[in-house]
Structure 1
Amino acid sequence: MSSSSKIDQVGSHETIISIDDMRITSVLSGQHEKILIDHAVDNDEAVILALGYKQEFKREFSLFTTFGVSFSVLGLLPSIASTLWYSLAYSGNAGLTWGYMIGMVGVMGVACSMAEISSAFPTSGGLYYATAMLAPPKYKTFLSWVVGWSNYFVQVTGAPSVAYGGASMILACKQIMDSNYVWQDWHCYLMTVCLTFFAAIIASLPTKWIAWINTGSTILNLTFLFISWIIILAGNNRTDQGLSKFNSNNVAWAIDNLTEWPDGISILMSFMAVIWTMSGFDSPFHLAEECSNAQIATPRAIVLTASVGGILGFVFQLAMAYTIVDVEDAVNADLGQPYISYLAQILDTPSVLCLASFAIILAFSMTFSCMIAASRVLFSYSRDNCFPLSKYWVQVNKHTLTPVNAVWLNWFIGCLLCLLMFGGVAIDAIFSVGAIGSFISFTIPTLLRITYARSFFKPGPWNLGKYTYLSGGLATAFTTLMIPILCFPQYRGADNTPDLMNWTVLVYWGSMFLACAWYFIYAHKIYHGPKSNLDKESIITDENEEKQVIEAVVSKGGKIQYGASEVSEEKV
């Protein structure tokens, strides 16, 4: 569009954003370009525009409501209940106590490094966008592709894995109430699909409604967790069984290695539980475009989620370690759900059903929170043709102003993934895929930040300062160590039969192989990394053109803003 036509469209209040002056590395930076917007903008909109994207969502999330979504995704009680097998079956009580503490040190390093990156790139594309901005030009397209798909695997397996855990608890409760009932795989499948269906409906609602629901969900998370903790400590019936009220320190902190690997490896394998439980702390990153004061609120929500979740999770698991009666029985009981089996060891039936119902309710709230985060990831990646039929998943519903199409595609894929439960233990792979996928997507941009990009990275207002390299080094070392560990089977040699092997190797690496093969065969022709979706008419590339626009606005008595700061006529 010509300069004169732009001037004709000028309104009474225009905004000119100079990308290179905003201390932001984006798909538009370094080109001396400026963006012309026909309305006043605040800092949040100025930042997202400078990153190359239109403001398409309402910013109705605050720090607290963003934390609410991420804390719901974290879902401490249902997460601990769903992944208890990994803690107990690998290293016994040690996986709940000091093993959890060591794992949390590494997780906090990852969370702090991610928070710093989120402040610099507050877009729902998250780590995928950051990778493209931090990588060498020759590799940025492929690396962002790998990070994007790896992170998507995390998001798309989140909701079905949580719903599967919730369905398992529901059926275990049915088995407690009816000793003649024997649950079948198809029972669990239909229950899981039902839970995810209603969760998808909630995830399709307007942002404001979702914020309200997640605020209530956060309160329920904290309340149910506290009540369960009190009942486990004060209401257990261990003394009625001729036992002490609590286990001794030697028992509560002891390794009970149920694998065929050395004790050290068994402890590392138990980190699977804490990694999966804490993996939801990246959700604020994907909600950054719906959050006000995103450059500050987003990183704060990430660190708050990881730290609060880590501390509360540890305190709750301490109570379990000091009250559990028999580790092997909890793992191998006929109920098929270690948390319910553990509760049955120390509580009467009404109390077991009460605490189980808390975990089930929170599992449902966690399911729709996972769907919200997953839909934003699919939407943001589709803006850049990262997925087949991207034009459908990038659409924002005109009534709810949320990516409804993305929600329901993820729901359908989740239903397909849940078919793994008909393969026996293969369903466990959706948990480990979430853990290994998140670590790969977290590690690449963090490593780039402290190596190749260290000389040109522009930190946001929330940053680690001199601790950047300490945190980044810890995060990278921890994730690099854990990626192969997460693929280890519980047994080895002849004992590692097909029904007991760790199917993560096939489910994650097989899927990633297909994604990479598709990239080299065809997708590289249409995918070139993150790209701007701003209208070309809004880009000013010539200083004379800018001057004419400003003069036209001022001559009509209008005002000009640079970024989010108003400019007077005298300054012009």
Structure 2
Amino acid sequence: MSATENKAQASRTAGVNPPGGTTGPASSTEDAELLAALGYEQKFDRKVSLWANFALGFVYLSPLVGVVALFSLGLSTAGGPSIFWIGIVGIGQFLVALVFGEVVSQFPLAGGLYQWVRRLWNGRYAWFTAWTYICCITIGITSTALYSSDFVASLFAGTADNPGISSTPAERLFIAIGMTIVCLICNCFGTRTLALISKIGLAAELIGIVLVGLYLLIFERHNSVSIFFETSSSNHSNYFSAFIAASLVGLFLFYGFEACGEIAEEVPNPSRSIPRAMQLTVAVGGVAALLAFVGYALAAPDLASILSGKDSNPIPSILQSSIGTVGTKLVLMVTLTSFIAGVMSQQAAASRIVFSFARDDMFPGARIFSKISRGHRVPMNALLAVNVVPLVIFVFVYYSPDSLNRIAAFQMLAGYAAFMMVVLAALRMRVKGWRPAGAWSLGRWGFVVNVAALIYGILGMVLLAWPTGDSGTPLVDRWIALIGFLIVSAVGLAYLLTAKPEGKSTAPEGDALEVAERLRNRAALLETSTGGN
């Protein structure tokens, strides 16, 4: 790059706020200038506020959906102590969110993880990260839609005598397809609709967790808090393996905060607001999940049947005994709203990373998937594409109803792998001298937090790959998460090594040090021009 080009590029960062400086809401012009300095043209509408961005991440993480989907699994696997996984994983994922915050603050680009590692490492590393993450998030759409089926069935078919009915394979298939199509249609109306439904989903989550949870804790306690310290294991030969198996309660829950960064080009002042949204998502989501889990567990009228695994859908029954038929139906409606918002946010995040991937010409058909609709400014082709695989998996689960939890386990292993590729790339660049220069930074604590986040993530991947079941469980079923991850990785690597897609792309890569230096120089110029004020 010539000196003239360097000056021109530096001048385009005129709207960048100095690290640690006083910051007001950045204008759309300033955001566009920063985007241009990073090599891209503003195409999306910036209509997602800090509150809406937090709502998007929160409904994607969805503590209400996570708790109601895995409440029975956790208790039947390891009993009350399974709740501790919410705290353990919450702390670990908060460290990851801090690392992500520093990276997205310097690179607030659509596509999140893919763009971050491209700038921290190179295009080849970014391609494999994106492949892994796209597989994860696509299956996330699948599992969330499928987990909603029992609650939809209970809402429309449950009775006072049997409020917590389980959906049949056929009902699960049609409910999941219907859920996906409804969310897809809503997403087609653009960022404003996505932000609105995310806010509605956030309100629904808070009503379903805070109000109901507090009511159950105060007025409907049937069990002692000692249940959270009493070990039990009905499906494992020893309690340690049972407790490890229950880690899915936390590992599945704290996933989705990265979605705040996937739509960075639709957020005003993204360098400062997105890190805050990520941190709020993990912190508030963790507290909400704990409140919901405790409330439902202490209010369960027949805890023994849940611990033994006889009652696989206990939430409606707990609600029925506590707040009656009408109250149960209302809470199930709130829960359904959360499921819809969650699927929508996953579709939006997946479509943005596919769009970003295509914008850099990183796979065949990139021109098709990099198009933005004129009316609502949505990557329509990418949005349609990310819903194809979920429809196929819905049919697979129809023929193999017991495969849902195994699919979810693979989903999370792939997600953690993609997360750790970002954390590793950030640590590698720090060793080379990179000091994050976005509007939000950890300062001198960055290196320590980065190392701690990597250690946590590796341990999380080990837990997710850990064989499930006991010695009587078929070998493939015990190792299904790891097997699925290795197959997906092998397919991705085969394509990467043979097609060499990164060679076709001319997008910037590996420029974290250079960009940070430009941002620091600009901050120094701004400080000098304002007299240090």
Give the TM-score normalised by structure 2.
0.84
Q: Cα 1:322–1:335, aligned 2, differ >3 Å: closer, same or farther? A: closer
Counterparts of residues 5-20 of structure 1 (less than 5 Å): 16-18=8-10
> Pick from 207, 212, 215: which aligns with 1:223?
207
Distance, in Å, in 2 between the alignment partners of 1:105 and 1:233 is 24
Unaligned runs of at least 5 residues, structure 2: 1-6, 17-26, 510-521
Greater CA deviation, 295-304 or 149-158? 149-158
Distance, in Å, in 2 between the alignment partners of 1:256 and 1:344 is 26
Per-residue deviation, residues 238-265 of structure 1 (Å, max 9, x unmatched): xxxxxxx342232233332344365344
Whether 1:73 aligns to 2:42 is: no
What is the CA distance between 1:329 and its match in structure 2? Answer: 2.2
Distance, in Å, in 1 between the alignment partners of 2:173 and 2:69 is 16
Match of 1:88 in 2: 75
Whether 1:51 aligns to 2:38 is: yes
Q: Cα 1:41–1:490, aligned 2, differ >3 Å: closer, same or farther? A: closer
Match of 2:494 in 1: 517
Per-residue deviation, residues 309-332 of structure 1 (Å, max 9, x unmatched): 111211222222323355562266
> Pick from 507, 516, 520: which aligns with 2:484?
507
Match of 2:468 in 1: 490
> Pick from 104, 111, 118: which aligns with 2:104?
118
Contact 1:235/1:347 (8 A) holds in 2: no
Per-residue deviation, residues 243-290 of structure 1 (Å, max 9, x unmatched): xx3422322333323443653443343232222222111111101110
Counterparts of residues 28-427 of structure 1 (less than 5 Å): 42-96=29-83, 98-135=84-121, 140-173=122-155, 176-177=158-159, 183-234=167-218, 236=220, 245-260=221-236, 262-327=238-303, 329-330=305-306, 336-340=312-316, 342-343=318-319, 348-421=324-397, 422-427=399-404
Per-residue deviation, residues 485-523 of structure 1 (Å, max 9, x unmatched): 212343232x1137954532343332222111111122x
Whether 1:434 aligns to 2:411 is: yes
Distance, in Å, in 2 between the alignment partners of 1:218 and 1:286 is 18
Quick check: which has more Rg, 1 or 2? 1
Distance, in Å, in 2 between the alignment partners of 1:134 and 1:16 is 23
What is the CA distance between 1:235 and its match in structure 2? Answer: 5.2
Distance, in Å, in 2 between the alignment partners of 1:375 and 1:518 is 21
Per-residue deviation, residues 386-423 of structure 1 (Å, max 9, x unmatched): 34422211110111111111111112221112223121
Distance, in Å, in 1 between the alignment partners of 2:290 and 2:166 is 34
Distance, in Å, in 1 between the alignment partners of 2:15 and 2:419 is 23
What is the CA distance between 1:341 and its match in structure 2? Answer: 5.2
Distance, in Å, in 1 between the alignment partners of 2:256 and 2:506 is 24
Greater CA deviation, 265-274 or 107-116? 265-274
Secondary structure of the 1:442 match is helix
Q: Cα 1:382–1:339, aligned 2, differ >3 Å: closer, same or farther? A: farther
Distance, in Å, in 2 between the alignment partners of 1:361 and 1:349 is 18
Distance, in Å, in 1 between the alignment partners of 2:167 and 2:73 is 22
Contact 1:424/1:499 (8 A) holds in 2: no
Give the TM-score normalised by structure 1.
0.79
What is the CA distance between 1:16 and its match in structure 2? Answer: 4.2
CA RMSD of aligned residues (A): 3.2
Q: Cα 1:131–1:457, aligned 2, differ >3 Å: closer, same or farther? A: farther
Match of 1:36 in 2: none
What is the CA distance between 1:187 and its match in structure 2? Answer: 1.8
Match of 1:548 in 2: none
What is the CA distance between 1:219 and its match in structure 2? Answer: 2.0
Report how many aligned residue pairs link the two structures.
495
Distance, in Å, in 2 between the alignment partners of 1:89 and 1:51 is 50
Specify the code of the residue in structure 1 equivalent to 2:466.
F
What is the CA distance between 1:17 and its match in structure 2? Answer: 3.1
What is the CA distance between 1:119 and its match in structure 2? Answer: 0.7
- Give the number of the structure whose residues are more often helix, by fraction: 2
Contact 2:153/2:167 (8 A) holds in 1: yes
Specify the code of the residue in structure 1 equivalent to 2:10.
S
Greater CA deviation, 298-307 or 256-265? 256-265
Distance, in Å, in 2 between the alignment partners of 1:362 and 1:51 is 35
Greater CA deviation, 168-177 or 407-416? 168-177
Seq. identity, %: 18
Match of 1:543 in 2: none
Distance, in Å, in 2 between the alignment partners of 1:346 and 1:497 is 40
What is the CA distance between 1:56 and its match in structure 2? Answer: 1.0
Contact 1:61/1:290 (8 A) holds in 2: yes
What is the CA distance between 1:142 and its match in structure 2? Answer: 2.9
